């Protein structure tokens, strides 16, 4: 019943355009770019008028007061253009439109709450609670099943390509996490926790790498671009056009956020971008590994920093300047050079992921690709630390207070 209502509502809002073509995809992405670019001017002007500015501080890199609500422009551009251009393709399932609406609702909640955080400030716990509520919305638990996103199946990198009778579980092409369908049950708890970890983890990963001008914006745009490409290759036209709109909205903000930035996306923007990436990467399947490869650098950077804080007996939420981009800044790299490095790594691993997708035993080679990403980032961190010791530069660990960024 609810699914049919959402489908009807979507059709009322859309022009009756049938199957999205490549030109339609490009136009949707371009419109999102232009709208986000224009809306950011309006947000900048409004923030300056009311005095909602991010002031320079010890934990900041910028030296001038700047607006911090750029995420509002990104979100509005995505919503408006997707309502006009997004429509189900010939290979779409009926659940996809439900996930789209759940994304809009949860995204709206995330943006509204973190707008308040950007202006007034929130402690970590309320933010984590709101992020958890957003995940529950994305799960879509009504009736007896989950109608949204639920991670409970995985492609087996060591399995056969085709299911055969009598195969042991570890040789099956698909692995299941205790359940074989998205029904509401106690057995679904591990899948729910994994879904929570994926979505909340992605939101906070994007949030934590948003430490210098243009870094998070550009890396997210590249990841979304590759999700668009792989979705199109897989024949998932509706997901491809939604990803293209997401890419366009993100890129439309980048000129304003490029060093020296005139506005920041704030937590409202970084959290929404993380949420969007997390959802788009699992819509239609077969894109989670690609997303991890493209975002391998920031994901592993966050993991290393969190483990380092725990090893030092500190809270994982404690603010410091040991992120990879901080280490590079301490070694003398400019903000733009750091962005170019992260962008290059994202592009290289994105191209590698798409290339591996067309091979026989693609899932195994993607696992190898993830290992290559891990090795690359590990060597990069070792090299940076070596350069730091040679130059005797100091990486600031920050004060003893936990960061309000979650």
| 345 belongs to a structural domain | no
The reply to whether 39 falls in a domain is yes
136-186 tens-digit pLDDT: 999 999 888 999 999 988 787 777 777 777 777 777 777 888 888 888 889
pLDDT band at 302 (very low <50, low <70, confident <90, very high): confident
For position 15, what pLDDT does the model report? Answer: 45
> Model confidence over 73-102: pLDDT tens digits?
999 999 999 999 998 766 667 688 999 999
**pLDDT tops 50 at residue 16:** no
**Distance, CA of 344 to CA of 325 (rounded, Å):** 14
Q: Domain for residue 236, yes or no?
A: yes
Q: Which domain holds residue 252?
A: 2-286
Residue 304 lies in a domain: no
C-alpha 206/C-alpha 213 separation (Å) is 13
- Angle (CA) 111-115-119 rounded to 5° is 170
Task: Tell me what pLDDT residue 365 has.
Answer: 78
Query: Cα 26 to chain center, whole Å?
Result: 21
Question: Sign of the CA dihedral 245, 248, 252, 257?
Answer: positive
**Rounded distance, CA 12 to CA 101, Å?**
14
Nearest residue to 212 via CA among 123, 382, 329: 329
Q: Rounded to whole angstroms, how far apart are CA atoms 187 and 357?
A: 32
What local confidence, expressed as pLDDT, does residue 9 receive? 46
Listed in sequence order, the residues at least 6 apart from 145 whose beta carbon sits closer than 8 Å to its beta carbon are 181, 182, 183, 184
Please check whether residue 35 lies inside any domain of the structure: yes
**pLDDT of res. 287:** 75
d(CA 236, CA 192): 25
Does residue 394 form part of some domain?
Answer: no
Domain assignment present for residue 173? The answer is yes
3-state SS assignment for residue 154: strand
Calpha distance 267→116 (Å, rounded) = 9
* Residue 324 or 73, more confident: 73
* Whole-Å CA distances, 100 to 1, 96, 229, 246, 267: 16, 6, 19, 12, 22
Decide if pLDDT at 20 tops 50. Answer: no
pLDDT in tens, 255-301: 999 999 999 999 999 999 999 999 999 987 767 888 888 888 788 77
Would you say residue 5 has pLDDT above 70? no
Spatial separation of the C-alpha atoms in residues 43 and 45, rounded to whole Å? 5
Instruction: Find how far residue 390's CA is from the centre of its chain.
Output: 35
In a domain, residue 393? The reply is no
Judge contact between 350 and 226, C-beta under 8 A: yes
List of residues 6+ apart from 28 with CB closer than 8 A: 20, 81, 82, 84, 85, 86, 241, 244, 245, 248
Could you tell me which residues come within 8 angstroms of residue 20 by beta carbon, excluding any fewer than 6 positions away? 28, 85, 87, 89, 237, 238, 240, 241
Number of domains in the chain: 1
């Amino acid at each position: 019943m609810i699914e049919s209502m959402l489908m009807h509502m979507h059709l009322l809002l859309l022009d009756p355009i049938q199957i999205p073509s490549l030109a339609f995809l490009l136009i949707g992405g371009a419109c999102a770019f232009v709208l986000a670019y224009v809306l950011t001017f309006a947000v900048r002007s409004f923030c300056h008028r009311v005095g909602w500015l991010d002031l320079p501080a010890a934990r900041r890199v910028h030296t001038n007061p700047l607006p911090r609500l750029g995420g509002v422009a990104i979100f509005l551009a995505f919503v408006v253009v997707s309502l006009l251009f997004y429509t189900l393709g010939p290979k779409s399932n009926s659940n996809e439109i439900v996930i789209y609406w759940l994304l809009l609702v949860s995204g709206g909640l995330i943006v509204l709450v973190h707008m308040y955080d950007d202006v007034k400030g929130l402690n970590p716990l309320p933010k984590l609670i709101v992020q958890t509520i957003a995940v529950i919305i994305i799960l879509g638990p009504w009736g007896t099943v989950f109608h949204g996103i639920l991670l409970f199946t995985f492609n087996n990198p060591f399995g056969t390509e085709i299911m055969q009778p009598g195969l042991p579980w570890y040789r099956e092409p698909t692995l299941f996490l205790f359940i074989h369908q998205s029904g509401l049950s106690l057995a679904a708890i591990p899948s729910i926790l994994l879904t929570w970890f994926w979505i909340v983890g992605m939101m906070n990963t994007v949030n934590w790498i948003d430490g210098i001008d243009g870094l998070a914006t550009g890396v997210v745009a590249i990841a979304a671009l590759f999700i668009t490409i792989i979705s199109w290759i897989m024949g998932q036209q509706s997901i491809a056009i939604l990803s293209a709109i997401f890419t366009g909205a993100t890129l439309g903000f980048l000129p304003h956020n490029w060093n020296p930035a005139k506005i920041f996306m704030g937590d409202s923007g970084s959290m929404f971008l993380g949420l969007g990436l997390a959802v788009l990467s699992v819509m239609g399947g077969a894109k989670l590994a690609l997303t991890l490869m493209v975002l391998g650098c920031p994901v592993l950077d966050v993991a290393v920093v969190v483990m380092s804080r725990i090893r030092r007996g500190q809270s994982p939420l404690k603010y410091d300047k040991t992120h990879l981009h901080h280490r590079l800044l301490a070694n003398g790299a400019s903000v733009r050079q750091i962005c170019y490095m992260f962008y290059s790594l994202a592009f290289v691993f994105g191209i590698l992921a798409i290339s591996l997708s067309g091979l026989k035993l693609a899932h195994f080679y993607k696992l190898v690709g993830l290992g290559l990403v891990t090795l690359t980032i590990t060597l990069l961190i070792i090299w940076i630390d070596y350069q730091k010791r040679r130059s005797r530069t100091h990486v600031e660990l920050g004060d003893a207070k936990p960061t309000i960024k979650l």
